[in-house]
Structure 1
């Protein structure tokens, strides 16, 4: 029986990974959560290295997927200690614990390890993060490499997928402002200003879950993929573009104004397009068109503003 532990099973990506892996009839799945228990999950604070070690020694998984992280750039900028605890120290603790049991560890990283000036970025391109979030995730990649010989980093861009709250993704978090711009159209009209500078590649979490499952299948065949791999959607969009697609899917006559210069307090890269060739060469990957995916998301969590 192939045993997989998913760390951070209640988050946006963690839920998608669990949903994909539970369909594997010959696999045993262990889920951990911190603040939002789901199903038969185990409560685990990954900032507690001793608790992590006890969990790994008790469960002895064949593989661990680390989907827990602090992924909000503004939070990382203002609380670097929290960012380091979750994105660096926890990765090191998990990888060190699994090294004793020869388990394969998959850690999720980000396109923000790059500065966004020379896309597309290969998996072996030199990172140069420009904000605290990117720096913490890069240090987490290094911590994994230093702590285990059976580690793999999967870099991902902007994620969206089935949600429990509009704010879970920077994609769906735009919906309230889009809807509000339509509601005021007949009176004191106020358009929603949307960033039209930074180019993102929104990537559907169920597609990422397929990538994770396929990577796990390689390990289950004793052909573990190690080092760094990357996966990304292939449709470049600014937040303004994303908002237009959302408005169309919601059938809302939204008033949107593009903002062509960066305005975020925390610096963001311009274009960190990730090259996915290494995984594609292995026959790994799936991409759902954005419009198809976002309509599915909105159908599961309809707007009731």
Structure 2
């Protein structure tokens, strides 16, 4: 595996996958931006992939705006499903594997009882989950050598931003960036309120972005196909995750608060899956991987935060 074409490498998850491939495994990463290649243009995608002659394609690009997904449904469909179709066709033409980065939000969070296994049919309840589930179907039915890599509760640093994206991001209904945002606030002596209550993704399987990248690398190296849950080895609720992080990093527990989201913080009319825990037993066996527990995940995350943030201190 010498060269991998990665879409969405300027994003949070994509930048970590690109980092793992390049920095840890010596892979040449071809990372076109949207300005370079419009993924909804099938002919352009085909030409770009053919010209770079990759050994694999990883498709991590998304339209990352929940309100836009419902306000611009045709554009959203093309950004997810149409782009996935174009990327899969390019991979088929090059006779290389294609990895779609998907999500635990393809499940509704209530049934079947979580944790959901790799072979559980999706049942999304919002537009993002629906578009990801539809994209998964494109890969499963169209790709000759397809991998659907679901990630969940992703934590880490943003490799495409200076200092790992140190400026704290506003908390959202999911788990992403939760620990990094909390750590930044508490280290600065500011209180941080972890949202709790109805209408939130309350339970998930926290995953370090670079750990997900390592599992994807293993899948490519071992030529594994099908649905994989590229996640950590321990489930948690959002409040417990924050408290474990406070203890792991020796932060002031009195600064950690819990409470409902502020008015208007959650986009109205968008259903959020409550329990999206994923079972990765099959994935771990296929990849011969030991999935880290939460203590190990937090230790690795702490090291990544310290390294990234020390460059901008």
TM-superposition CA deviations, 1:220-277 (whole Å, max 9, x none): xxxxx222121222333333233334444372431412449xx943221121211112
Whether 1:293 and 2:300 are equivalent positions in the alignment is: yes
- Secondary structure (helix, strand or coil) at the match of 2:211 reads helix
CA distance in 2, matches of 1:257, 1:143: 40
CA distance in 2, matches of 1:245, 1:51: 46
TM-score, length basis structure 2: 0.78
Aligned equivalent of 1:132, options 114, 127, 134: 127
Aligned equivalent of 1:122, options 95, 111, 117: 117
CA distance in 2, matches of 1:50, 1:157: 32
Aligned to 2:178: 171
Pairs aligned (count): 284
Aligned to 2:79: 86
Shift of 1:209: 1.1
Tell me: CA distance 1:62–1:245, structure 2 relative to 1, closer, same or farther (3 Å). Answer: same
Shift of 1:96: 1.2
Aligned to 1:53: 46
Mapped contact 2:105–2:273 kept (Cα < 8 A): yes
Tell me: CA distance 1:99–1:77, structure 2 relative to 1, closer, same or farther (3 Å). Answer: same
- Secondary structure (helix, strand or coil) at the match of 2:169 reads helix
Aligned equivalent of 1:277, options 255, 278, 281: 281
- Secondary structure (helix, strand or coil) at the match of 2:289 reads coil
Shift of 1:174: 4.0
Aligned to 1:6: 6
Structure 2's unaligned 5+ residue stretches are 159-163, 171-175
Mapped contact 1:4–1:64 kept (Cα < 8 A): yes
Aligned to 1:217: 221
Aligned to 2:157: 162
Tell me: CA distance 1:78–1:179, structure 2 relative to 1, closer, same or farther (3 Å). Answer: farther
CA distance in 2, matches of 1:114, 1:272: 7
TM-score, length basis structure 1: 0.80
Shift of 1:21: 1.7
CA distance in 2, matches of 1:58, 1:50: 12
Structure 1's unaligned 5+ residue stretches are 36-42, 185-190, 220-224
CA distance in 2, matches of 1:177, 1:161: 12
Tell me: CA distance 1:278–1:287, structure 2 relative to 1, closer, same or farther (3 Å). Answer: closer
Mapped contact 1:158–1:202 kept (Cα < 8 A): yes
Aligned to 2:161: none
Mapped contact 1:196–1:240 kept (Cα < 8 A): no
CA distance in 1, matches of 2:177, 2:66: 11
Shift of 1:7: 1.6
Aligned to 2:257: 256
- Secondary structure (helix, strand or coil) at the match of 2:82 reads helix
CA distance in 1, matches of 2:286, 2:31: 27
Mapped contact 2:88–2:142 kept (Cα < 8 A): yes
CA distance in 1, matches of 2:15, 2:194: 31
Shift of 1:179: 4.3
